[in-house]
Structure 1
Amino acid sequence: MLDALVLLAGFSTRMGQLKQHTRLAGHSFLEMVIDRLSASRQQLRQLVFVGQNGDREAQQLVERSGGIWLVNAQPELGPLSSIRIAIEQSPERAALLLWPIDHPMISAETIRNLIALWESDPEQITVPSSGSRRGHPTIFPGWCRREFFNIELNAGAKKILQLFPDRINYLLTDDIWVMKNLNTPEMLAEAENWLQTNRVR
């Protein structure tokens, strides 16, 4: 059992606008992530999105796509607080495909390959990698759920990877966007230039 969990409750201070509504090649980040997840919908029990109260545009888009919208009433507490909210609302044994909204360029093929690798060994944490660096999104098996409550709130999900290095499977990929978070106007411009050069949506 695998749920997708998309994190979009941040304040996007470096971008200067909410990242879920930032547009790239005519599509918002949120539209792009939903599109990629939809391509693997049969492998995902549900799509969960945690955002801020009052973000009606994002909520409506999520609900139209069949996703579940949850509100983080204290987004200033950071991403881990959103993860905990989602865990409390999902079945006890569900694994989580954790996807930050600032990685909208990851290909649907990468997501399919990541899920396939996890399905081959579902008790392992499954992470895309360039070989030298870990990327996003990450699949956390059901046993990790309690660990999200054991670590410090400001530690973030990467702390679990540090605690359990021997329980990680790596998907080696040449998808550069698993490593690139689009959280500044400069990174957004880089993505726009890449799309124009490669003529990819």
Structure 2
Amino acid sequence: MTLMVAEPFGCIILAAGAGTRFGESKAGALLPSGERFLDVIARAALDAGAQPVVAVVPEGVEVPPAARTVRNRDAKGEQIVSVRLGLMQLVGTLARGTLIWPVDHPFVSLKSILAIVEAYRLTRAHIVLPTYNGRRGHPTFFDRVVWGELMTVESGGAQTVVRAVRDRVHEVPTVDPGILQDIDTRSDMPLGGWRATDAIS
């Protein structure tokens, strides 16, 4: 069941990369559970109340029916291009902000997502980031007021925007190692499946 939240927000899943080090596009790759990276993330975003969920994918990857499909034909290009393609799908919606969620972070718990969204609702920070043991992870929430900066940043992508507005960034401490679990190569894949904790500090 989808959980209701106070503020409308979207989610952009960045899944257009070629996955060269992984051996295939991670958008269509399978986790040890047998589910695709993309499906797990889309379901978590929808369960957290994101609307719309936009999946930016390469050609040939099927997107879950409840998500919007955007094709990025330059799989080897900079990730900020996918961010911009996703934002273009959100500008005409009621979304006050959006999660930006890289597909190589499929083990983030639902409670972490809800904590990020709740922190935004309470603080109205322009950017909200989860942390685990003091380290920043994914996904990141961007208020609509900084979308313009994401659309125009010339180098460094979203991280440049985060640094530029650091006084408007709010961190959400979690006990969820999934926010840091970056599946870059097959050796990063936990054997037997990963079960990130649902607890939030």
TM-score when scaled to structure 2? Answer: 0.85
Partner of 1:128: 130
Which amino acid in 1 is paired with 2:54?
A: V
Partner of 2:5: none
Partner of 1:192: 191
Contact 2:126 2:146 in 1 (8 A): no
Contact 2:102 2:139 in 1 (8 A): yes
Partner of 2:13: 6
Which secondary structure does the structure 2 equivalent of 1:76 belong to?
A: coil
Identify which range, 92-101 or 126-135, moves more after superposition: 92-101
Contact 2:126 2:145 in 1 (8 A): no
Q: How far apart are residue 26 of structure 1 and its match?
A: 1.9
Partner of 1:158: 159
Counterpart Cα distance in 1 of 2:119 and 2:56: 26
Which amino acid in 2 is paired with 1:119?
A: R
For structure 1, the residue ranges without an aligned partner over 5 or more in a row are: none
Which secondary structure does the structure 2 equivalent of 1:20 belong to?
A: coil
1:73-104 CA-partner distances (Å, limit 9, x unpaired): 32332210011112222226641100000000
Q: How far apart are residue 193 of structure 1 and its match?
A: 4.9
Which secondary structure does the structure 2 equivalent of 1:157 belong to?
A: helix
Partner of 1:74: 74
Contact 1:75 1:81 in 2 (8 A): no
Alignment length, in residue pairs?
Answer: 186
Partner of 1:91: 91
TM-score when scaled to structure 1? Answer: 0.85
Check if 1:32 corresponds to 2:40: yes
Contact 2:46 2:53 in 1 (8 A): no
Which secondary structure does the structure 2 equivalent of 1:21 belong to?
A: coil
Counterpart Cα distance in 1 of 2:133 and 2:163: 17
Q: CA 1:187–1:85 in structure 2 vs 1: closer, same or farther (change >3 Å)?
A: same
Percent identity of equivalent pairs = 24
Identify which range, 115-124 or 8-17, moves more after superposition: 115-124
Counterpart Cα distance in 2 of 1:175 and 1:87: 27
Counterpart Cα distance in 2 of 1:192 and 1:29: 15
Which secondary structure does the structure 2 equivalent of 1:96 belong to?
A: strand
Counterpart Cα distance in 1 of 2:56 and 2:21: 20
Which amino acid in 1 is paired with 2:118?
A: A
Counterpart Cα distance in 1 of 2:187 and 2:104: 13
Name whichever structure is richer in helix by fraction. Answer: 1
CA RMSD of aligned residues (A): 1.9
Q: CA 1:122–1:157 in structure 2 vs 1: closer, same or farther (change >3 Å)?
A: same
Q: How far apart are residue 38 of structure 1 and its match?
A: 2.6
Partner of 1:23: 30
Which secondary structure does the structure 2 equivalent of 1:186 belong to?
A: helix
